[in-house]
Amino acid sequence: MATSTASSPNSLLFHQSSSRKSSSLAIPSSLRLSKPSSLSLRRISCTAVTAPLSVSSSNASTGRVFNFAAGPAILPESVILEAQAELFNYQGSGMSIMEMSHRSKEFDYVIKKAESDLRSLLSISDDYSVLFLQGGATTQFAAVPLNLCASPDSTADFIVTGSWGDKAFKEAQKYCKPNLIWSGKAEKYTKIPSFDSLQQSPDARYLHICANETIHGVEFKDYPTPANKDTILVADMSSNFCSKPVDVSRFGVIYAGAQKNVGPSGVTIVIVRKDLIGNAQPITPVMLDYKTHADTLSLYNTPPCFAIYICGLVFADLLKKGGLAEVEKNNAKKAGLLYDTIDASGGYYVCPVEKSVRSLMNVPFTLRQSELEKTFIAEASKEGMVQLKGHRSVGGMRASIYNAMPLAGLEKLVAFMKDFQARNP
Ligand code: PMP
């Protein structure tokens, strides 16, 4: 069981921050339980302590677990600690970022730096606007047809490779005439079609894909080219955003909820080609019109400031780690460990997804003896590997292994899987 020095979930432990940026991953040994008498507002940082975890820790010194949740999901520890260090008094402003006007000079820097770092990471050209919006990726299921289809009679093509693509298709039916040109439903969403076989509509305004299906673990490794040069390729990249390099110039719109790879929930990033902005259907709510946000640099109304700030820290961290090519290498290594373990188990563990399109981010798998799955999940949790239960619609297990999941998390998981198999043949 992880230990915590908290006397109650609401206790605050005050400690002097020796530097603004925290470099050590361990809880500082200088932690003091009582408020220092000479408390200087400018130099203090504040550690909120949660209730003790009911699992054995993956890291005994910090009490942190390996969190395999699909989203909200694991974030880099260095980012959490950096945010913690400057939470109480952001950059000497005398207030936290949560208390600050979105029109302050500090926040202006935060949002511009976040955008600029994201542009560097994905090599986004000036032909594109980068928007920080609210409403989740789900809101984009409506915003995309409202912005791209000047008329509700316009058509759009959908390739549906999982539940999220299906939701996007269904929502689009309210605002345009979408065609389902391919669905993997009959094969339980385990495949991606060959692009040559697709019957695309000649007049489709856009072609929509979900680049990585979070529930089913199916990921596009390449992208289809619309048959008509005027058809816009649109991708929901919520669950593999910034997990690998992407040629943004192939897309008209990319959208992603932040809460898997790049931040907390509450902000959705939309990358939209500028020439597509400004043609929304007249019924489009002002908050769903890309022009509203492009014209105001995402500051039309109060944006999700704290979430944008954390995204900015994650983008800077990804750049520091060498950019997305490096990140992809790491992700491939981590996912490889898990898929190899599943495939070498002699059918004890099964991943139903066709090998060539298996996700590097979300790995669904089942046990041959399905009655052992509950035990598997409970035992893993006791070992500090949490949130391994599969989505309620598919059952089994799912390991979400986003950028921030360390290799050690995968090593521990596969060791556990081998041991579990040996103990429960
Ligand atoms: N698309 C994908 C691929 C997702 O994984 C999710 C959420 N899990 C969504 C869309 C919906 O996102 P949100 O909850 O931010 O609306």
Name every protein residue with a CB atom under 6 angstroms from any ligand 1 atom. 71, 136-138, 164, 210, 214, 236, 238-239, 257
260 catalytic? Reply is yes
Rounded to 5°, the CA angle 258-261-267 comes to 10
- The span from the CA of 423 to the CA of 418, in Å, is 9
Instruction: Report the nearest atom of ligand 1 relative to the CA of 135.
Output: 16
Query: pLDDT of the chain along its 425 residues, tens only?
Result: 333 333 332 233 333 333 333 333 333 333 333 333 333 333 333 333 333 333 444 566 789 999 999 999 999 999 999 999 999 999 999 999 999 999 999 999 999 999 999 999 999 999 999 999 999 999 999 999 999 999 999 999 999 999 999 999 999 999 999 999 999 999 999 999 999 989 999 999 999 999 999 999 999 999 999 999 999 999 999 999 999 999 999 999 999 999 999 999 999 999 999 999 999 999 999 999 999 999 999 999 999 999 999 999 999 999 999 999 999 999 999 999 999 999 999 999 999 999 999 999 999 999 999 999 999 999 999 999 999 999 988 899 999 999 999 999 999 999 999 999 999 99
Q: How far apart are CA 201 and CA 54, in angstroms?
A: 54
Contact between 301 and 287 under an 8 Å Cβ cutoff? The reply is yes
Helix ranges (H only) for 123-218 are 136-148, 163-172
Say what the pTM is.
0.88
User: Can you tell me the distance from the alpha carbon of 218 to that of 381, in angstroms, rounded to the nearest whole number?
Assistant: 25
Ligand 1 centre to CA of 170 (Å) is 14
Among protein residues, the one whose CA lies closest to atom 15 of ligand 1: 136
Look at residues 176, 223, 229, 153 and name the one whose alpha carbon lies nearest to residue 195.
223
Q: Are 73 and 240 in contact (CB under 8 A)?
A: no
Stretch(es) of the chain classified as CATH 3.40.640.10? 80-321
Give the integer Cα–Cα distance in Å for 117 and 280. Answer: 29
Q: Count the neighbouring beta carbons within 10 Å of the beta carbon of residue 413.
A: 24
For the CA of 268, the closest atom of ligand 1 is 15
Q: Where do you find CATH 3.90.1150.10 in the chain?
A: 322-423
Q: What is the largest CA-CA distance in the chain?
A: 73
Nearest residue (CA) to ligand 1, atom 9: 137
| CA 212 to centroid of ligand 1, rounded, Å | 10
3-state class (DSSP) for residue 243: coil
Residue 331 has, within 13 A of its CA and on its CB side, a CA count of 27
Q: 80-321, what's its fold?
A: Aspartate Aminotransferase; domain 2 (3.40.640)
Residue of 191, 244, 260, 389 with catalytic role: 260
Please report, in angstroms and rounded to a whole number, the separation of the first and last CA atoms in the chain: 28
Residue 217 Cα to ligand 1 midpoint, Å, equals 13
Q: Is 389 an annotated catalytic residue?
A: no
Q: What is the CATH number of domain 322-423?
A: 3.90.1150.10
